[in-house]
Structure 1
Amino acid sequence: MTRIYMLALLFAAAIPTAFSEAQSLGYNHNRIAMSFDGNSAPDNEYKWPTGDPDDWGALPASCAIIAKLGLQEQLVHCSYNNFIDAPAGPDAENQLKISADGVVKYWGFNQGVFFDVTKELQRAVDSLAAEMEKSTESDPLFFIHAGLSEFVYLAVEQVVQNGKIESLNHVHLVSHSGFNENERRRKHHRTWSDIQKLSGNRIQYTKIQDQNHKEAPNHLWHSGKDFSVWHWMRDHPKSDVRWMYARLKAHSGNVADISDCGMLFFLLTGDADGSPAKFRDFIGDGIALPDHSKE
């Protein structure tokens, strides 16, 4: 056995199984954009005033998947609190800002690609629209639809108004949630079908199975009130992984739900049928480089 072959075997053995699985939808180190829902202050004009706390943990878990693969620079847009017309709240109580600031601290993401929609709506829309507009066959954009549709509609509307509608042919949208696609916080808000109509059916749309399966804690990304399947994060030797567990545990309803990260797991590993055990094996010994470990 040659030395080169031995090194190749050692390298392959060091890569988690999920690394070697096929990436989906033709993804090949392309740009990634994400938008999460939520609001950091009560929205008393809506039937459910508080934001959905699942994204408090799903945003870090999604970024962990990106960072584990060393793709931080490919994340070009990440908006959060994208419940349009919801009020802004103080930073100290803004759970999604706490999550966003943490992924920048631990995993070296660019702070400038994160936007709190309740505080900087137009900047956030401009950012996503610009990334959509630059999309081409050789430089597509992959968008993770982890929030309601009105924010995305506003970005697509801006693309169309700017005369860049053909770029939408090279935008891939990944969804798993009928709620995110169809729920409206205000009567004038739009849905996913309105977005696709506005785009002239140009956006490439993929919907995977709903990533919630709370009745089966060991399957997919929502284990109900059973946190034990995620204790490998709590007990991990690296502080950034333990922090990720703290963000999962922060859920105001004491629910272990990071379901939206299943879309990133699908995009980057080709597996739409994730689980706590698969995520454990994927994360392995840790995420961060030594100089980012904050140990």
Structure 2
Amino acid sequence: MKHVLFVFICSFLFLYADYVDAAGWGYKNNRIAISADGNNQPDVMHFWTTADPDDWGATPAALAIIAKANKKNQLVHFSYNNFMNSPPHTTAINEMAVGVEGAIQNWGYDSNKFFDVSEDYQKALNDLVRVLQVSTKEDPLFFIHMGPSEFFYRAVQQVIKLGKIESLAHVYVISHSGYNDNHLRRGDPKFDKKPVPASQKHHTLTEAIALSGNRIQYKKIIDQNAKWDANQLWHSEHDWSVWLWMKEHKDETVRWIYQRMKRHPNGVADFSDAGMVYFLLTGDENGSPKKFEQFIGKGINTNSNK
């Protein structure tokens, strides 16, 4: 009987370890960089004055996933509010900063790895350039694409100017959104309030990859929104019932993620971009509220961390 119990426990631990260590797109404990939008200060030059508030919830959720998986040290860059040409937050609440600062406090992230693009664009850009240009076959960078492409494009441009173009062959970009890949804050005549000179036109992700001489690796996983089914993926529209486990969780930091989600001005339960991080660390591009609940388990700050 003891032998059978021992075998059962070992099998369970093996399966659990295999689940935690599974990874998407060949990820093997490599460096991670993330850039998100979420700008809340109105950009009066564009038809859509603010960013999609999905990142207000997706950023805390993504950082919770990384912390839970014990990969905090692998996160080497996180920039946010990356709508180029959007103003700093002076009259609107900087919701992204609230989420980032809360995650740093809750889970012990290094604050030096986080950059508000709308507050200090050059500092944020320099840091992304830094982590891109040191990428090698032995030390690749996995980049989670949570916002439009112009900020990333400019970083790629700087890497090339520094003579480090070969490093870009070891940059792996993960996306799930045609909007993030192709949205232009400047240079799209359908949405510009005023004509934009060609020299000020923004760029798509396809253009960023082409600029690298197609060296940059790219993977687009399935769209992480599933508004038609609250039990699938990471966007349940107005159905909050599938996320109530977070509201009632014994770990206060998990409850805090739920509170950040509720900041969405339209009452939408959406942190779809977090699905890319979940895919990277688990290999599963079909996440769900139930899978997220199982992944978080007893919480993020518990001693067992399981």
Taking structure 2 as the reference length, what is the TM-score of the superposition?
Answer: 0.90
The amino acid across from 1:263 in the alignment is M
Does 1:269 find its partner at 2:269? no
In the alignment, the residues of structure 2 paired with residue 255 and residue 155 of structure 1 have an alpha-carbon distance, to the nearest angstrom, of: 32
One of 197, 214, 223 as aligned partner of 2:227: 214
- Is the 1:227–1:256 contact (alpha carbons within 8 Å) kept by the matching residues of 2? yes
In the alignment, the residues of structure 2 paired with residue 85 and residue 194 of structure 1 have an alpha-carbon distance, to the nearest angstrom, of: 19
Shift in CA distance, 88/277, structure 1 to aligned 2, threshold 3 Å: same
In the alignment, the residues of structure 2 paired with residue 288 and residue 111 of structure 1 have an alpha-carbon distance, to the nearest angstrom, of: 18
Q: Residue in 1 aligned with 2:186?
A: 186
Does 1:49 find its partner at 2:49? yes
Bigger radius of gyration among the two: 2
**CA positional deviation for 1:40:** 2.9
In the alignment, the residues of structure 2 paired with residue 4 and residue 151 of structure 1 have an alpha-carbon distance, to the nearest angstrom, of: 53
**CA positional deviation for 1:25:** 1.5
Secondary structure at the residue paired with 2:295?
helix
- Is the 1:142–1:172 contact (alpha carbons within 8 Å) kept by the matching residues of 2? yes
- Misfit runs of 4+, over 2 Å: 1-13, 15-18
Does 1:238 find its partner at 2:239? no
Q: Residue in 2 aligned with 1:251?
A: 264
The amino acid across from 1:112 in the alignment is N
Shift in CA distance, 266/10, structure 1 to aligned 2, threshold 3 Å: closer
**CA positional deviation for 1:123:** 0.9
Does 1:169 find its partner at 2:172? no
Gaps spanning 5+ residues in structure 2: where? Answer: 188-200
Taking structure 1 as the reference length, what is the TM-score of the superposition?
Answer: 0.93
In the alignment, the residues of structure 2 paired with residue 286 and residue 184 of structure 1 have an alpha-carbon distance, to the nearest angstrom, of: 39
The amino acid across from 1:79 in the alignment is S
In the alignment, the residues of structure 2 paired with residue 289 and residue 133 of structure 1 have an alpha-carbon distance, to the nearest angstrom, of: 37
Question: Which is further off, 256-265 or 44-53?
Answer: 44-53
What is the percentage of aligned positions where both structures have the same residue? 49
Shift in CA distance, 212/3, structure 1 to aligned 2, threshold 3 Å: closer
Secondary structure at the residue paired with 1:77?
strand
Gaps spanning 5+ residues in structure 1: where? Answer: none
In the alignment, the residues of structure 1 paired with residue 17 and residue 90 of structure 2 have an alpha-carbon distance, to the nearest angstrom, of: 40
In the alignment, the residues of structure 1 paired with residue 256 and residue 214 of structure 2 have an alpha-carbon distance, to the nearest angstrom, of: 40
- Is the 2:236–2:270 contact (alpha carbons within 8 Å) kept by the matching residues of 1? yes
- Is the 1:265–1:272 contact (alpha carbons within 8 Å) kept by the matching residues of 2? yes
In the alignment, the residues of structure 2 paired with residue 81 and residue 113 of structure 1 have an alpha-carbon distance, to the nearest angstrom, of: 15
Deviations 1:137-173 (A, max 9, x none): 0100000000000000010001000000000000000
- Is the 1:29–1:71 contact (alpha carbons within 8 Å) kept by the matching residues of 2? yes
Q: Residue in 2 aligned with 1:146?
A: 146
Q: Residue in 1 aligned with 2:87?
A: 87
The amino acid across from 1:115 in the alignment is F
1:101-140 equivalences in 2 (<5 Å): 101-140=101-140
**CA positional deviation for 1:91:** 9.2
RMSD over aligned Cα atoms: 2.1
In the alignment, the residues of structure 2 paired with residue 63 and residue 248 of structure 1 have an alpha-carbon distance, to the nearest angstrom, of: 14
**CA positional deviation for 1:12:** 4.3
